[in-house]
């Protein structure tokens, strides 16, 4: 069965870059959101085992989204993918329960490395 994943970024271009960076052979069902509110809806519907989350977004930004995921203990693993690479940004998202922080623009090497490190995909699988 495909893994349900969510890509949340206000930029359609960034979402496209993200999808392109994922391992080609990884069997996924991709949902997309352009802000935190949309993302939470998809996560609550159980359609996001893994969430790739941007930080700088209108309506609801990544920090607020993360803190709601954290406080409501929503069932998703969050990987932050952001252009905001300040040390403070990384510390804050880790504190809010993000599993990993990836700096933009994401590369396929980095995506694979992260997915393997956290056991989301097996090395031989992809």
Partner 1 sequence: MTSQALDLNEEYRDIYQELVNVAMGRAADLLARLLDTYIILPVPKVNLLARTELAMTLAALDKNDRVSAVCQGFSGDRISGEALLLLTDATFPDLAHLLGSESTGSRGNELELLMDTANVLIGACLKGFAEQIDVEFAQSLPEVLGQHRKVDGLFDQPAIPWEQALAIEVTYRLENKESTFELLLLFTSESIEILNNKINFLLEE
Bond preceding residue 105 cis, omega within 30 of 0: yes
CB of 11 to partner 1, least distance (A): 4
Interface residues toward partner 1, by CB under 8 A: 10-14, 55-58, 82-89, 103-105
CB of 13 to partner 1, least distance (A): 5
**For partner 1, the closer CB: 55 or 66:** 55
What strands, in cross-sheet order, belong to the sheet with 100-103? Answer: 28-33, 3-8, 50-53, 77-82, 100-103
State how far the Cα of 62 lies from the Cα of 8, in Å rounded to an integer. Answer: 9
State how far the Cα of 11 lies from the Cα of 96, in Å rounded to an integer. Answer: 23
CB of 119 to partner 1, least distance (A): 29
**For partner 1, the closer CB: 43 or 81:** 81
**For partner 1, the closer CB: 57 or 96:** 57
């Amino acid at each position: 069965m495909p893994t349900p994943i969510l890509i949340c970024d206000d930029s359609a271009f960034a979402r496209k870059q993200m999808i392109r960076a994922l391992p080609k052979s990884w069997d996924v069902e991709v949902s997309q959101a352009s802000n935190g509110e949309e993302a939470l809806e998809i996560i609550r519907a159980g359609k996001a085992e893994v969430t790739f989350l941007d930080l700088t977004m209108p309506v609801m930004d990544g920090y607020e989204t993360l803190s709601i995921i954290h406080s409501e203990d929503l069932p998703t693993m969050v990987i932050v993918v952001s252009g905001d690479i300040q040390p403070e940004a990384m510390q804050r998202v880790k504190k809010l329960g993000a599993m990993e922080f990836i700096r933009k623009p994401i590369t396929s090497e980095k995506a694979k490395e992260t997915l393997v490190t956290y056991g989301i995909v097996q090395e031989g699988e992809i």
